[in-house]
């Protein structure tokens, strides 16, 4: 499990918000399935941290389940473990949840992302893209697995994103995705894995 977040200030103008502080814990790649005790133990340790810290929100940015495309039970089990957390959660799908998207390099992914698996994620886990505002920030979560997929929802999500960007009105943006929005072929080295972290967001800045 590791954190992957992008916080981009769009300007230096203050934005009034009645919530002066918003605390968020981001987790990822939980890969939950009831037949994997080691992965369950990992999640239990994260759950203990969340219980002690009590952030305002937990965001799981993908691979919530171990193998959603072939095991609905993995998705249901993963949701049940998150539902037991003492704080609210938001989610984004990963390739382990809904299948993988094609890229310009390498072989076709297996299994490929499919609309039926996206719908299964939404039915069990929750929305696969979202936005909300807190402490003067605009938070956006995108389903990165539909990008370059040719699925109808790919265009629908970009249309939705355009509408979201049109109403930012100078707020800083925190963007959450499962996959980085660039080609690894342009990266000289593989990004290092990071530990889970908590972030405290205040008006005009974020502190990790």
**What pLDDT does 205 receive?**
38
User: 3 near 196, Cβ under 8 Å?
Assistant: yes
Higher pLDDT, 153 or 196: 153
DSSP structural state of residue 65? B
Number of other residues whose CB lies within 10 A of the CB of residue 118: 22
At 172-197, the pLDDT tens digits run 999 999 998 765 454 455 444 333 33
Residue labelled with tokens 């539909």:
146
Higher pLDDT, 9 or 162: 162
**What pLDDT does 107 receive?**
83
pLDDT at 117 over 60: yes
pLDDT at 204 over 60: no
3-class SS of residue 73:
helix
**What pLDDT does 194 receive?**
36
At 158-177, the pLDDT tens digits run 999 999 999 999 999 999 99
* Average model confidence (pLDDT) across the chain: 84
Q: Which CATH number is 6-200 given? A: 3.60.21.10
pLDDT at 7 over 50: no
At 127-148, the pLDDT tens digits run 999 999 999 999 999 999 999 9
User: 197 near 205, Cβ under 8 Å?
Assistant: no
Task: Give the start-to-end residue ranges of the domains of the chain.
Answer: 6-200
pLDDT at 113 over 70: yes
């Amino acid at each position: 499990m590791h954190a992957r977040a992008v916080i981009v200030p769009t300007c230096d103008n203050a934005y009034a918000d009645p919530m002066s502080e918003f605390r968020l814990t981001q987790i990822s790649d939980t890969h939950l399935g009831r037949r994997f005790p080691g992965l369950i133990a990992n999640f239990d340790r994260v759950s203990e941290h969340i219980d002690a810290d009590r952030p305002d929100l937990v965001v799981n940015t993908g691979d919530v389940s171990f193998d959603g495309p072939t095991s609905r039970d993995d998705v249901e089990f993963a949701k049940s473990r998150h539902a037991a957390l003492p704080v609210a959660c938001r989610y984004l799908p990963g390739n382990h949840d809904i299948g993988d998207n094609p890229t310009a390099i390498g072989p076709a992914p297996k299994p490929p992302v499919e609309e039926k698996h996206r719908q299964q994620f939404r039915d069990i886990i929750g929305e696969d893209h979202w936005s909300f505002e807190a402490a003067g920030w605009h938070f956006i979560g995108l389903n990165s697995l539909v990008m370059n997929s040719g699925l109808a929802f790919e265009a629908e999500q970009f249309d939705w994103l355009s509408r979201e960007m049109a109403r930012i009105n100078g707020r800083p943006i925190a963007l959450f995705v499962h996959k980085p929005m660039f080609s690894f072929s342009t990266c000289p080295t593989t990004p290092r894995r990071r530990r889970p972290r908590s972030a405290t967001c205040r008006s005009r800045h974020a502190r990790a």
